[in-house]
Amino acid sequence: MIASKLPNVGTTIFTRMSQLAMETGALNLSQGFPDFDGPQALRDALSWHVANGHNQYSPMTGLPALRQQVAAKIQRSYGVRVNVDMEVTITPGATQGIFCAIQAVIHSGDEVIVFDPAYDSYEPSVELAGGRCVHVQLDSQTFTIDFNKLAQALSPRTRMIILNSPHNPSGALISRAELDQLAQLIRDRDIYLISDEVYEHLVFDGVAHASVLAHEELYQRAFVVSSFGKTYHVTGWKTGYVVAPPALSAELRKVHQYVSFCGVTPLQYALADFMAEHPEHIDELPGFYQAKRDLFCDLLAPSRLSFTRVTGTYFQLVDYSQIRPDLNDVEMALWLTREHGVATIPVSVFYQNPPQEQRLVRLCFAKREETLRQAAQKLCGI
Ligand code: PMP
Ligand code: GLN
């Protein structure tokens, strides 16, 4: 019998639902990834670098050209300057960056506050560091932070708070005013932040993303994480980055150098080239995904699903209580996949204590128009 270090962990819901979609031939709107390719110029750049000898280790902190492009993107997006050498670290995926940040600062017995519904990788990473997650529920309608609940959850052992905005799975955003409120609440405490901003460029309706990078006070204690996978439509490239003040970056790098040492070299070259040549890509992303959101939501309007259009991410939550109130969301996700050919993600799996009355599943709209039309047709027929 193996004494598991993660006894409560199974295979992730993303793997399970994508697998079921494949087995049943259902349209896969579950796991978050585009069913279209990243930009041709980006893929061509990768082929070029593979063919032209960029196939050995990159520097441990990441290719300098890519770190420079990240800093340029940050300045363009948020008007702040970060030190390319001391504050930017390229990681093989945001997931790895989050893991390393947690291992770097969480000691045995430390508490980490996560907001439910919470992305699934946070808690196992905290547990492997010997810490414990304290779950604070977001508002069940708006998915915003309840600052009274947060204040009550703080203890002398609280060492970290993990933020995620734009939020997976709800698409909600944390506002600048809420960041200010958070800063005030933790001002005199020794608490680090992870700000998971992998969907930072997927924000709609003219709303601005309030990045922790642009919050001078919070940034001093933060690891800000992003993912090239989401921004450049290449989730399978598993390349991300962590931006943190020099002292925190130094601790992060101590872990990162032994988890993976560095990211994949030709991918970093390709991303650096593409970002240098196409800085407008990030300006066009909100419109690109907003059009998909609106198409999908318009197509779903006649269905018996109810929803409010999301402000960020490429996920749309829908309430199915007019269709099968008798099913919980895991049962519903299985039923929708098997009986109606559309795979979704149940939301309860992101909670420690899922609200029993909640009837929500998550649909990914990072799909071609044809896929969205087919999915909507199936969903409208139920
Ligand atoms: N955080 C959130 C909230 C995510 O949705 C994802 C998507 N997979 C990640 C982190 C991980 O990103 P990556 O694929 O770059 O590891
Ligand atoms: N972030 C993606 C999602 O929310 C999944 C990533 C994964 O499969 N680990 O669907």
pLDDT in tens, the chain (382 residues): 899 999 999 999 999 999 999 999 999 999 999 999 999 999 999 999 999 999 999 999 999 999 999 999 999 999 999 999 999 999 999 999 999 999 999 999 999 999 999 999 999 999 999 999 999 999 999 999 999 999 999 999 999 999 999 999 999 999 999 999 999 999 999 999 999 999 999 999 999 999 999 999 999 999 999 999 999 999 999 999 999 999 999 999 999 999 999 999 999 999 999 999 999 999 999 999 999 999 999 999 999 999 999 999 999 999 999 999 999 999 999 999 999 999 999 999 999 999 999 999 999 999 999 999 999 999 999 9
Domain count, the chain: 2
**Ligand 2 centre from 269 Cα, in Å?**
25
Range of the domain at 361: 13-31+281-380
pLDDT tens for 64-85 read 999 999 999 999 999 999 999 9
Residue 4 in domain: no
271 in the same domain as 286: no
Q: Which of 70, 198, 345 gets mutated to test ligand 1 (max ligand atoms within 8 A of its CB)?
A: 198
Closest by Cα among 281, 247, 235 to 72: 281
- Give alpha helix (H) positions in the chain: 13-24, 40-51, 64-78, 94-105, 122-128, 147-153, 176-186, 216-219, 228-231, 246-259, 265-277, 281-300, 329-340, 369-380
- Is-contact 355 275, C-beta < 8 A? no
Say whether both 109 and 155 belong to one domain: yes
> Candidates 100, 119, 197: which one to mutate for ligand 1, based on the most atoms within 8 Å of Cβ?
119
Same domain, 252 and 332: no
| Residue 328 and residue 268 share a domain | no
Domain boundary among 231, 257, 278: 278
- The amino acid sitting at 350 is F
Give distance in angstroms: CA of 134 to centre of ligand 1: 21
Of 254, 278, 302, which marks where a domain is finished?
A: 278
Within 6 Å (CB) of ligand 1, which residues are found? 32, 93-95, 119, 164, 168, 196, 198, 227, 229, 235, 238, 240
Ligand nearest to the CA of 115: 1
pLDDT in tens, 230-239: 999 999 999 9
Determine the Cα–Cα distance for residues 123 and 179; give it in Å rounded to an integer. 23
Which ligand places an atom closest to the C-alpha of 12? 2
Q: Are 318 and 306 in contact (CB under 8 A)?
A: yes
What is the pLDDT at residue 249? 98
Judged by its nearest atom, the ligand closest to the C-alpha of residue 17 is: 2
Query: 286 and 261, same structural domain?
Result: no
Residue 81 maps to a domain: yes
One domain, residues 258 and 182: yes
Asked if 117 and 350 count as a contact pair (C-beta separation under 8 A), the reply is yes
Provide the CA 81 distance to its chain's centre, in angstroms. Answer: 23
- Tell me the C-alpha distance between 322 and 126, whole Å: 38
Check whether residue 226 and residue 295 sit in a common domain: no
Q: Please compute, for residue 57, the number of CA atoms within 13 A of its CA located in the half-sphere on the CB side.
A: 7
